[in-house]
Structure 1
Amino acid sequence: MTKLKIGIVGCGVGGMAAALALARKGCAVTLLEAFEQPRPVGSGLLLQPTGLAALRALRLEDAVRAAGAPVQELIGHDSHGRRVMALDYADWRPGAHGVGIHRAALFDALHAPLAPAGVEVVTGARITRLEDAARPVLHDEAGRSFGPFDIVLVADGSASTLRGALKPRARAPVYPWGAVWTNIADPDDRFAGALRQVYHRAEVMCGALPVGLGPDGEENCTAVFWSVPVADMDAFLAGDFARWRDQRLAPLWPGLAQALAGRNDWAGFSRAIYRDVSVGRWDVGACALIGDAAHGTSPQLGQGANLALMDAAELAERLAATPSPAALKGWQADRRRHVGLYQLASKALTPLFQSRGWFWPAVRTFGFTPMSRLPGIKQLGVLLLTGTLRLGRFPRITRP
């Protein structure tokens, strides 16, 4: 590959994966991060076979598997004990599974090889302006300039500050529901092997995801989440923890409430807020959006990190074959044929699991749940779960 000079804004999953993949292809990569100390945000996530294939291309799959925990099933019940969802990876491929992992462990796996690969990481660089999309220069709030670059990738997440500069008509409204997350120890493996969820109508969703190593290296951790309307989040976290645990969580999921019995307050909980990102084409001149900055959506399908990893791995392959900004057009067109399916499915599913009133829970109970068990529909659900539903063939680099 011609030694392209590439600037990447954002030290999240997509930004770091792209930086590593491109540096290893011979590019001169500068990764610009707003915070003085880059850090992961949130708790657990579920890596699918597609995301694991991208990590294999980055030579990180073994390290990530060692840090995470295998997940063979997704199981969901409502507050009446009725089964809402049951998806088994073995229905896609015998022996297949996902990997639950703490965001800190994935962050460390991606961050550690950056410097050895030759990536220049600049921290404390909050980029506020992009000049000249054809030969881009980046400016931060301290008045510093970086570039010019041959290509700039904007990977600063669903709340991107640069997206509007590239795509003025882009929309990224906040979803009405967010979540609070924490980690618990699970020495007896009570939550092992599956992503488990419990729903109360569509107003509450709680879940437990085994993630392996915790943020400080502790073993047998499980990430726990509870959905909360964004408008109520401050009041929720200012409320009485014990009352929530004993009066709201325990009736829905006694075992999970018991696992939190040693907690006295909300210490250790983090917030998660999601956006519905719609931008059309991701590229403008020599610039492109990548990861959640391009296609953030609700977490119903849990695909955010996987899609960002695939964005990065497939872009590096494209630029290896065509080392110029012209490669961005074909890359984003191909990726949008994959990502668009997940954006559409997430929008369709979100009201069934996170909304107010009786209508959407009734649709879920009497329509979605029975249909999801039919052979053809069940296979479609498994393809969605594994990340393998795609228009067109998978590139070799991300083929599970």
Structure 2
Amino acid sequence: MRIAVVGCGVAGMAAARALARKGHAVVLLEAFQQPRPLGSGLLLQPSGLAALRQLGLDAQVIERGARVERLDGRDLRGRLIMDMRYADWRPDAFGIGVHRATLFDVLHDGLEPVGVEVRTGIEVTGFEDPAAPVLIDAAGGRHGPFDLVIAADGSASRLRDLLRPNARAPLYPWGAVWANARDQDGTFAGSLSQRYDRASTMMGVLPIGRGPAGGAELVSFFWSLPVTQMDGFLGGDLSEWRARAVAMWPQAAPIIEQFQDPAAFSRATYRDVQIGRWSQGRFVLIGDAAHGTSPQLGQGANMGLIDAVELADRLGDDIPRSIRGFQASRRRHAGLYQFMSRWLTPMFQSGGWLGPFVRDVFFTPMSKAPGGRQMAARVLTGTLRLGRTPKALRP
């Protein structure tokens, strides 16, 4: 088949590689002249690592990332609010913290060897002939026809707006700023560590390995704040912020003190994508374009990787039927995490008292109850799924 993939993010590159390895002729269209990663670091779960294994890329990512064995979240008094351990799922289980640029490079470098054609500077703005789609770019260029078009252009997907105009994708009122720093003493090795001031302030440190340039071990630091306050943060003086952050989390002072200029930070905003069907004729949406949500459960990149591998495995000569089967299977997984993320997000990112009250009184004790730790570990690892996990994607 001749297939177009729109978007050079994690899901798009993974889909292009997976489909090309199945023998399809794949064209990857990217709006930027020079594709680049957006953001700082991310956490790959056993579910996402299983997808990378199917792409033949897991060893590279594991070697260049940092092993993470638990999630440790505490309030300002040091009280344990969130305690999730991979060993509660399997004794040898772990996640991998990785610099986004590292994952981008591994995926991008894997395209040419399998024959993916990459076209940059192509902003898709429309299409013709849904039965044999021809994509139209902003300059009036035509690309196609294709047997299948995969929209992997992110949570603010333009193709989604054309295909599913009634879809909703509002911005979450809270986002985060991210920056990378050196962890010279390995203080934060092995754990995604977070600190909470009720739910109005959340910050965290994620080990991400040495990064694409090598050198010292790095961590990604994030600070949660309302979207309306991001411009003020990124355009202001960090001295007062550093003093506040260090007072809240003295252990993180060696990390926080490295940030002298707001230019060190990048902003991250998130959308709650509610779309209904992910497909329209010979078009299908994957990744954040189909099921974007808040990052509270840390599953975004993992879900996109799984989408890519499962779509490639399911695609047969009957394209509409293949897409229907893909969507039914994936929605039993991604939809579950979307639901949980919507429920959990106000407990960790919100103003007022209700969210953290519910978290501290109900959620935290439940996670420590008999069987609760095992269930929490399944949520963390990305392996909780309604229905059967395809054999190729079993961690």
The TM-score, its normalising length taken from structure 1, stands at 0.97
1:134 maps onto 2:126 in alignment: no
User: What is the CA-CA distance between 1:326 and the residue it aligns to?
Assistant: 2.8
Per-residue CA shift, 1:155-203, capped at 9, x if unaligned?
A: 0000111101111111000000010000111121111000000011101
* Structure 1 stretches lacking a partner, 5+ long: none
The answer for the alignment partner of 1:122 in structure 2 is 119
- Aligned runs of 1:218-233 on 2, under 5 Å? 218-233=215-230
The answer for the alignment partner of 2:150 in structure 1 is 153
Q: Distance in 2 between matches of 1:43 and 1:323?
A: 40
Superposition RMSD on alpha carbons, in Å?
1.1
The answer for the alignment partner of 2:247 in structure 1 is 251
Q: Distance in 2 between matches of 1:22 and 1:368?
A: 41
Q: Distance in 2 between matches of 1:51 and 1:11?
A: 18
- Aligned runs of 1:359-374 on 2, under 5 Å? 359-374=354-369
The answer for the alignment partner of 1:178 in structure 2 is 175
Contact preservation (8 Å) 2:70, 2:86: yes
Compared with structure 1, are the counterparts of its residues 131 and 219 closer, same or farther at alpha carbon in structure 2 (3 Å cutoff)? farther
1:5 maps onto 2:6 in alignment: no
Question: 38, 46, 50: which one pairs with 2:47?
Answer: 50
One-letter code of the match for 1:300? Q
1:389 maps onto 2:381 in alignment: no
Residue-pair matches, total = 395
Compared with structure 1, are the counterparts of its residues 189 and 323 closer, same or farther at alpha carbon in structure 2 (3 Å cutoff)? farther
Contact preservation (8 Å) 2:7, 2:153: yes
The answer for the alignment partner of 2:102 in structure 1 is 105
Q: Secondary structure at the match of 1:225?
A: strand
User: What is the CA-CA distance between 1:136 and the residue it aligns to?
Assistant: 1.1
Contact preservation (8 Å) 1:11, 1:38: yes
Per-residue CA shift, 1:278-310, capped at 9, x if unaligned?
A: 111111111000000000000000000000000
360-369 or 280-289, which deviates more: 360-369
Per-residue CA shift, 1:315-371, capped at 9, x if unaligned?
A: 11111x546343111101110011110000000000000010111111111121111
The answer for the alignment partner of 1:282 in structure 2 is 278
Contact preservation (8 Å) 1:193, 1:210: yes
User: What is the CA-CA distance between 1:208 and the residue it aligns to?
Assistant: 0.3
One-letter code of the match for 1:283? S
The answer for the alignment partner of 1:328 in structure 2 is 323
User: What is the CA-CA distance between 1:42 and the residue it aligns to?
Assistant: 0.2
- Aligned runs of 1:69-84 on 2, under 5 Å? 69-84=66-81
One-letter code of the match for 1:359? L
The answer for the alignment partner of 2:343 in structure 1 is 348
User: What is the CA-CA distance between 1:377 and the residue it aligns to?
Assistant: 2.4
Per-residue CA shift, 1:126-164, capped at 9, x if unaligned?
A: 111122332211111011010110000000000111101
Q: Secondary structure at the match of 2:324?
A: helix
Percent identity for Structure 1 against Structure 2: 59
The TM-score, its normalising length taken from structure 2, stands at 0.98
Contact preservation (8 Å) 1:181, 1:225: yes
Q: Distance in 1 between matches of 2:256 and 2:296?
A: 24
Q: Secondary structure at the match of 1:162?
A: helix
One-letter code of the match for 1:43? S
Question: 299, 303, 306: which one pairs with 1:303?
Answer: 299
User: What is the CA-CA distance between 1:210 and the residue it aligns to?
Assistant: 0.3
174-183 or 390-399, which deviates more: 390-399
One-letter code of the match for 1:293? A
Contact preservation (8 Å) 1:183, 1:214: no
Contact preservation (8 Å) 2:12, 2:152: yes
Contact preservation (8 Å) 2:234, 2:263: no
Q: Secondary structure at the match of 1:375?
A: coil
The answer for the alignment partner of 1:66 in structure 2 is 63
Contact preservation (8 Å) 1:130, 1:162: no
Q: Distance in 2 between matches of 1:87 and 1:163?
A: 35
The answer for the alignment partner of 1:190 in structure 2 is 187
User: What is the CA-CA distance between 1:116 and the residue it aligns to?
Assistant: 1.4
Q: Distance in 1 between matches of 2:254 and 2:281?
A: 55
Compared with structure 1, are the counterparts of its residues 377 and 76 closer, same or farther at alpha carbon in structure 2 (3 Å cutoff)? same
Q: Distance in 1 between matches of 2:146 and 2:33?
A: 23
